[in-house]
Amino acid sequence: MVSIRILKRILTIMLMGLACVAQNAVAQNLETAAQQARSALERFLVAWNSGSIATVRQVLNYPHITHSPSGLIIAESPEQFAQNFTMLRRQGWASSSFDEVTMHQVSESKVNIGVEFSRRNNLGEIYQSGFVFYVFTKQGDTWGMQYRAGLPGQQQIDETIKNQARMEATAAIVGFFNAFNDTDHNALGRVNHVPQ
């Protein structure tokens, strides 16, 4: 007759095996999501470089949000998404490239991607660089970009503005840690911009 102790061991081993299988399945799902989002990013770059607004609209998910310097621009449908490729061409744009791509967070239906990009002229020379943060989502079976927020490259920001931003950021960090270390919840609420 099999003892309770042996049955517990067998059950424990089986549960550990199931946990490993489940963990591997989740890891595989996340790897698949990352690959599919990266493919959607590449499709976006091809569409963008076509210079055709109709082509770009096809690779986005909606509602699509662009976080611009003037605020949020929300396109509820493809027809509402706008990009002025004529203006880009007047600036010398012929194509864009993704110089460095970093996955920041991955779930089965959403992937956050940071991209260092360059804009190139007709000779293939870089005339502008910057950083853009994208959120790719899976809607149904389709991956597409649903959010983007771009920043100019460091070389394009005036040194005075950078120094002011550093001072303000440092003051905010010091204020946060002073309030945190003093366990002053009211002060934390004033320096923390996360909804409480």
DSSP string spanning the chain?
---HHHHHHHHHHHHHHHHHHHHHHHHHHHHHHHHHHHHHHHHHHHHHHHT-HHHHHHTEEEEEEEEETTEEEEESSGGG----HHHHHHTT--EEEEEEEEEEEE-SSEEEEEEEEEEE-TTS-EEEEEEEEEEEEEETTEEEEEEEEEEE-GGGS-HHHHHHHHHHHHHHHHHHHHHHHTT-HHHHHHH--S--
Q: pLDDT, tens digit, for every residue of 136-167?
A: 999 999 999 999 998 765 556 677 776 777 78
Task: Verify that 165 and 145 share a domain, yes or no.
Answer: no
Task: Verify that 104 and 144 share a domain, yes or no.
Answer: yes
Average pLDDT, the chain: 85
pLDDT of residue 1: 57
How many domains, in total, are found in the chain?
2
Task: Verify that 115 and 51 share a domain, yes or no.
Answer: yes
Task: Verify that 33 and 48 share a domain, yes or no.
Answer: yes
Task: Verify that 164 and 107 share a domain, yes or no.
Answer: no
Q: pLDDT, tens digit, for every residue of 51-71?
A: 999 999 999 999 999 988 778
Tell me which of 194 and 139 has the higher pLDDT.
139
Task: Verify that 87 and 164 share a domain, yes or no.
Answer: no
| Poorest-pLDDT segment among 45-49, 117-121, 156-160 | 156-160
Task: Verify that 111 and 168 share a domain, yes or no.
Answer: no
41 pLDDT more than 70: yes
Task: Verify that 185 and 169 share a domain, yes or no.
Answer: yes
Task: Verify that 127 and 168 share a domain, yes or no.
Answer: no
Tell me which of 174 and 98 has the higher pLDDT.
98
pLDDT of residue 70: 76
94 pLDDT more than 80: yes
Task: Verify that 94 and 170 share a domain, yes or no.
Answer: no
Task: Verify that 120 and 181 share a domain, yes or no.
Answer: no
pLDDT of residue 99: 95
pLDDT of residue 80: 97
Task: Verify that 9 and 68 share a domain, yes or no.
Answer: yes
pLDDT of residue 3: 73
pLDDT of residue 195: 44
CATH number at residue 42: 3.10.450.50
What is the arithmetic mean of pLDDT over 107-135?
A: 94
pLDDT > 90 in the chain, percent = 56
Range of the domain at 112: 4-157
